[in-house]
Amino acid sequence: MKQTLKEEVASRRTFAIISHPDAGKTTITEQLLLFGGAIRQAGTVKGKKSGKFAKSDWMEIEKQRGISVTSSVMQFDYSGKRINILDTPGHEDFSEDTYRTLMAVDSAVMVIDSAKGIEPQTKKLFKVCRMRGIPIFTFINKLDRDGREPLDLIDELEEVLEIDAYPMNWPIGMGKGLLGLYDLYNNRVEVHRPEINGLNGESYAPLDEDGEIIGDHPLKQYSLYTQALEDAQLLSEAGNEFSREKIQAGELTPVFFGSALTNFGVQTFLDTYLEFAPGPSAHETKNEEQISPSEEKFSGFVFKIQANMDPAHRDRIAFVRICSGKFERGIDVTLARTSKKMRLSNSTQFMAETRETVEHAVAGDIIGLYDTGNFQIGDTIYENNLKIEFEDLPQFTPELFMKVSAKNVMKQKSFHKGVQQLVQEGAIQLYKTYHTEDYIIGAVGQLQFEVFQHRMLGEYNSEIIMSPMGHKIARWIDVDDLDENMSSSRNILAKDRFGNPLFLFENEFAMRWFSDKYPDVELKTLL
């Protein structure tokens, strides 16, 4: 039966997975893809070291370092839903990329290592989710190892992240002593290694009204089971109340325990997540209009551009989050920034292992458009006369700067092309000194420079010289306020790639000195 647009949109679930590096994000993503039949075998992360890589890691540098640099997109169908997972780089040096990805999703899954609890990067990424007010689902991973007390972890989560938590299940033991998950929501115990711990090898043991496993069951002889029962009771009396509204408003995070590596508790998590995660939401335009996902006309925005994803093809792809309507291959759209009309006939969709030409997609989906240089990050495209422009994607204020030039002066062309494309991708920010127009690149984290250098050489055959300028404080000023005499030995006057003037101050002191001298000049940051 043909679905209406509204029904199709309602079946979409688009989320990002966030975590501190090594918490298990890649491992859990692979398990989810396995459930969806999107891959046949997890390239288990163990393989990362032996040369076999997780499907979601694309770039060479990711392989070398074993970290995820760029966000990738994966789609699969499961249980009547079409799921779009957006992977995010865990390393803090790439938080800008993560931030943009979070603009394109309707919810986020936060993976936490049960032995480590809340780590710095989790905190940072979580803050970004809160700023957007998106629902957050928590998966506390690595239960097959000895970790911290579950109550402790919940306390820490609430305290450090300032969010209410609601445990959806509760571990019975951990590490070698892991017996199962006391599953309050599904009213059952999910048995770990049922061939040893289950009754006739059964994976689930149903509970009676008092929350006890029904009948005789081998687990009942363990004090860990009694302990879990008591903890769960305590939580239901003293803990937060369950509220779907609060989850959807991002004020309450449902917490699931499990082990991604041994595939324990992951499917329960996925099933329950799908019950509570919201479908596509409305998006706000610059005119503060709300564009509903079931609006008939197509619209979307570019949240990521990536060149050379497939080194064999040298292509460049703009990732678009569809905000309304439906996309059919060959659709005519307008690019809001330039009013340019274009036909979208070369589009792709991302499965785990393959890319396929996408013929049809709806609000909530992510599509990739082959780009010949038309798109920039944050661009809106729309159908017919919808004439909208979505809000700008925020940019971080860079803190680290390098002067950059081509090592071989004869190779200026590839140097400029590389810089231009990587800047449009948002991999790095570009500035020029105000008069001499020397190139300065700015980054939020040091690794961005390394990726930049690596990619300039690998993809554009351009060897570069980078001379560190160290930490600087970048502040923008209105062009009307600009008087070039304001430039001194303690700051550098530069312009961004749109020609807006800014100062790069040596330090706080230099900035205060400037403000004292020019009290009427407002110094502005990006984010």
Annotated binding site for GTP: 19-26, 87-91, 141-144
Contact predicate 334/341, CB 8 Å: yes
Contact segment (CB under 6 A) with ligand G4P among 18-26, 231-239, 333-341, 499-507 equals 18-26
Which of 45, 136, 181, 504 lies at the binding interface for ligand G4P (CB under 6 A)? 45
> Smaller CB distance to ligand G4P: residue 89 or 198?
89
Listing DSSP states for 448-464 in one string gives HHHHHHHHHHHHH---E
Residue 411 Cα to chain centre, angstroms: 36
H or E segment at 382? strand 380-383
> Smaller CB distance to ligand G4P: residue 264 or 327?
264
The residue among 43, 49, 51 whose CA lies nearest residue 27 is 43
- Smallest distance from ligand G4P to CB 260, Å: 4
The three-state secondary structure class of 473 is strand
The interface with ligand G4P within residues 81-100 (CB under 6 A) comprises: 90
Does 48 contact ligand G4P by CB under 6 A?
yes
How would you class 476 by CB atoms within 10 Å of its CB: exposed for 0-12, middle for 13-18, buried for 19 or more?
middle
Does 42 contact ligand G4P by CB under 6 A?
no
Contact segment (CB under 6 A) with ligand G4P among 17-25, 71-79, 122-130, 317-325 equals 17-25
- Smallest distance from ligand G4P to CB 403, Å: 33
Which of 5, 11, 22, 501 lies at the binding interface for ligand G4P (CB under 6 A)? 22
Contact predicate 136/129, CB 8 Å: yes
The runs of H, that is alpha helices, within 103-189 are 120-132, 150-161
484: its two tokens? 């070039």
Q: For residue 289, give the amino acid letter.
A: E
The interface with ligand G4P within residues 473-502 (CB under 6 A) comprises: none
CB atoms within 10 A of CB 504: 22
Task: Give the span between the Cα atoms of 51 and 63, in whole angstroms.
Answer: 8
173: its two tokens? 């033991």
Burial 240-259 (b: 16+ CB within 10 A, else e): beeeeebbbebbbbbbbbbb
Contact predicate 382/388, CB 8 Å: yes
Which of 13, 25, 82, 283 lies at the binding interface for ligand G4P (CB under 6 A)? 25
Does 55 contact ligand G4P by CB under 6 A?
no
Does 157 contact ligand G4P by CB under 6 A?
no
Does 144 contact ligand G4P by CB under 6 A?
yes
Residue 417 Cα to chain centre, angstroms: 28
- Smallest distance from ligand G4P to CB 477, Å: 40
- Smallest distance from ligand G4P to CB 105, Å: 17
- Smallest distance from ligand G4P to CB 67, Å: 7
Strands 136-141 and 252-257: parallel
Contact segment (CB under 6 A) with ligand G4P among 73-81, 182-190, 256-264, 353-361 equals 256-264
Residue count, binding to ligand G4P (CB under 6 A): 19
Q: For residue 340, give the amino acid letter.
A: K
Which of 81, 124, 130, 145 lies at the binding interface for ligand G4P (CB under 6 A)? 145
Contact segment (CB under 6 A) with ligand G4P among 141-149, 218-226, 303-311, 324-332 equals 141-149
Binding residues: 19-26, 87-91, 141-144
Distances (CA, A) of 18 to 98, 163, 369, 374, 506: 8, 16, 25, 30, 34
Does 72 contact ligand G4P by CB under 6 A?
no
385: its two tokens? 């006369």
- Smallest distance from ligand G4P to CB 519, Å: 47
Does 147 contact ligand G4P by CB under 6 A?
no
Which of 27, 138, 253, 306 lies at the binding interface for ligand G4P (CB under 6 A)? 27
> Smaller CB distance to ligand G4P: residue 125 or 134?
125
**Residues found near ligand G4P in the complex (CB under 6 A):** 19, 21-27, 45-46, 48, 90, 141-142, 144-145, 259-261
